[in-house]
Homo-oligomer: A and B are copies of this chain.
Amino acid sequence: MANSPDQRRALIEATYACIAKWGPRRTSLEDAAKAAGVSRATLYRYFPGGRDELFEAVVAFEYDRFFERLLQAVQGAKTLETVMEQGLAYAHRAIVEHEVLHLVLSTEPELLESTFAQKGVTTRTLIGEFLLPYLELHELREGVRPADAADYLARMVLSYMGAAGRWDLSDPAQVRVLVRDELLGGIAA
């Protein structure tokens, strides 16, 4: 039915913009459609599920885009340390700049649940699996298995992504200390 992926895309991005401007609850489908240069009727042709389906699509889209770019950000890294540093730095930057996902999720958390549920895997698992190969190449303290270390690092990454605490993650030097001393300190040989 969806002839033009362009319009679908335009709707998602326009909706994203509206949410960023007014918040999800203050964003009507009329607004979103108008911002996409499309009639409300057409919106329903691309998202028959209406508001729910549209918002889910926005979240999924932004979620994918975030991790896609995160992946790009750590593309060049060769060692565990640089992967962690570049990843944390990018994630922090992205999250601070784009608060939209937060906004959506804090207001309508149910959306995220279904989005992730259908993805089947949690974000933490995803990150853990991405880090695993690096850990297998790394010298670990004795008794520390790579899989456990990956899970531990994934949890810490997510935690610091959300709230940096006393660290300023926009300062590469501090990121470097955080990663090498704090995060890897407990597991690296």
| Protomer copies | 4
> How far, in Å, is A181 (CB) from chain B's closest CB?
9
Q: Are B108 and A123 in contact (CB under 8 A)?
A: yes
Among A102, A104, A116, A162, max chain B CB count under 10 A is at A162
Interface SS of chain A: helix
| CB-based contact A161/B110 at 8 Å | yes
- Tell whether, in the assembled complex, residue A162 and residue B105 are in contact, meaning their CB atoms are under 8 Å apart: no
| A111 and B162 contact, Cβ closer than 8 Å, known pairs A186-B185, A186-B186, A187-B186 | yes
State whether the Cβ of A148 lies closer than 8 Å to any Cβ in chain B: yes
Which residues from B are CB-within-8-Å of A159? 109-110, 124, 155-156, 158-159
Task: Return A137 CB to nearest CB of chain B, in Å.
Answer: 21
Question: Size range of the interface on A?
Answer: 35 or more
Within 8 Å of chain B (Cβ to Cβ): is A122? yes
Residue of B nearest to A102 (CB): B114
Q: Is the CB of B163 within 8 A of A24?
A: no
Chain B residue with minimal CB distance to A128?
A: B165
A166 at the interface (CB under 8 A from B): yes
How close is A42's CB to chain B, nearest CB, in angstroms? 18
CB distance from A172 to the nearest CB of B (A): 20
Q: Which of A103, A116, A125, A155 has the most C-beta atoms of chain B within 10 angstroms of its own C-beta?
A: A155
Q: With A105-B107, A106-B114, A108-B112 given, can you name 17 additional A-B contacts, CB distance below 8 Å? A: A24-B110, A25-B108, A25-B110, A103-B109, A106-B115, A107-B109, A108-B162, A109-B111, A110-B161, A110-B162, A111-B162, A122-B163, A124-B165, A125-B165, A148-B182, A151-B166, A186-B187
Residues of A at the B interface (CB closer than 8 Å) are 23-25, 52, 102-116, 122-125, 148, 151-152, 155-156, 158-163, 165-166, 182, 185-187
